[in-house]
Amino acid sequence: MTLNDAVLQQLALHLDSCQQQARDTVKITDQYPDMDWEDAYEIQDRILKLHLNRGARLAGLKCGLTSHAKMKQMGVTEPVFGFLVDTFAVAPGDAVDTRALIHPKVEPEIVFVLKRELRGPGCHIGAVLAATDFVMAGIEVIDSRYRDFKFDLKSVIADNTSAARFVVGGRACPVEQIDLRTCGVVLEKNGQPVTFGAGAAVLGHPAAAVAALANHLGRRGSSIPAGTMILSGGVTEAVTVAPGDHVQLRVQDMGAVGLRFV
Ligand code: OOG
Ligand code: MG
């Protein structure tokens, strides 16, 4: 940790207020170039506390920048991890109010729900599959609080990995019934297919992203509790959306889930 308590809290309050007021900011490493990974996750943890203090509940966890397409789109090289609260959740088919967001984009994701705790280090794909209750289709709406979505890894971690809204739906599918590597993903915008992929785009196997999350939490002395929902990361690059758009995600064997933007 390189930042003191007062600076960590000030940065958490700053990023949180940018999210609450749909206002963008310059990336925080511009002012604090020496901040380290611990500082970044500590700021994220403090933002979670601000949500909880306002009455929100933790709804799940997310992995980000787990696909080559996303790493290339954002110019970074390593996965990041964040949280989801219930106030980010949207019901399938419902409208997302873009006035509460800065510059939303959507991502097709494979969602895991665990039946058993996962604890790193040493967590691997096999352990994840054994602990998974079912997988589902999910759309994440990301909305970086940084101007023009321009950030480095530490800045985006502090900003809770751009998390803003999410929807999960379709058909809950037991993992033993599908090959998550070859499982096809089609994202449609306004009725037109716009991005395509297969599960293997996410670290070779989407369960590898969940294992990476468990190992990350293990290094910080915690674990992924049984029952946790986890977004394993965008399979393709993220797609910009505007008021009037509707998006529909189809995942092989997992049905479809959609959202509208107003
Ligand atoms: C960071 C969040 C990335 C994903 O699924 O890759 C993410 C960003 O691109 O703004 O959620
Ligand atoms: Mg995502």
Mapped to the 3 state alphabet, what secondary structure does 55-80 carry?
CCCEEEEEEECCEHHHHHHHCCCCCE
Greatest alpha-carbon pair distance for the chain in Å reads 50
Element at 51 (helix H, strand E): helix 37-53
Q: Which ligand is nearest to the CA of 138?
A: 2
Q: What is the pTM of this model?
A: 0.98
Distance CA 250, CA 183 (A): 11
Element at 107 (helix H, strand E): strand 105-114
Does ligand 1 come within 6 angstroms of the Cβ of 74? yes
CA of 175 to the centre of ligand 1 (A): 24
As a dihedral over the C-alpha atoms of residue 164, residue 169, residue 174, residue 178, rounded to 10 degrees, the angle is: -90
Does ligand 1 come within 6 angstroms of the Cβ of 189? no
**What DSSP string runs through 185-226?**
EEEEETTEEEEEEEGGGBTTSHHHHHHHHHHHHHHTT--B-T
Atom of ligand 1 nearest to the CA of 162: 10
Distance CA 105, CA 144 (A): 9
Does ligand 1 come within 6 angstroms of the Cβ of 162? yes
Strands 246-251, 80-85: pairing is unpaired
Ligand 1: which of 65, 105, 165 to mutate, judged by most atoms within 8 Å of the beta carbon? 65
CA of 142 to the centre of ligand 2 (A): 7
Sign of the torsion angle spanned by Cα atoms 144, 105, 257, 182 = negative
Token pair listed for 57 = 């509940």
Q: What local confidence, expressed as pLDDT, does residue 77 receive? A: 87
Which residue minimizes the CA distance to atom 10 of ligand 1? 162
Token pair listed for 18 = 């940018």
Are 185 and 235 in contact by the 8 Å Cβ rule? The answer is yes
CA of 17 to the centre of ligand 1 (A): 20
What are the start-end ranges of the H helices in 98-138? 125-131
Q: What local confidence, expressed as pLDDT, does residue 252 receive? A: 98
Atom of ligand 1 nearest to the CA of 151: 10
Element at 12 (helix H, strand E): helix 5-20
Ligand 1: which of 140, 146, 150, 241 to mutate, judged by most atoms within 8 Å of the beta carbon? 140
Whether the ω angle into residue 92 lies within 30 degrees of 0, i.e. cis, is: no
Q: What local confidence, expressed as pLDDT, does residue 227 receive? A: 98
Per-residue pLDDT of the chain (262 residues; tens, 9 = 90+): 999 999 999 999 999 999 999 999 999 999 999 999 999 999 999 999 999 999 999 999 999 999 999 999 999 889 999 999 999 999 999 999 999 999 999 999 999 999 999 999 999 999 999 999 999 999 999 999 999 999 999 999 999 999 999 999 999 999 999 999 999 999 999 999 999 999 999 999 999 999 999 999 999 999 999 999 999 999 999 999 999 999 999 999 999 999 999 9
CA of 161 to the centre of ligand 1 (A): 6
CA of 248 to the centre of ligand 2 (A): 16
Q: Which ligand is nearest to the CA of 162?
A: 1
Q: What angle do CA 34, 40, 41 make, to 5 degrees?
A: 150
Q: What local confidence, expressed as pLDDT, does residue 259 receive? A: 98
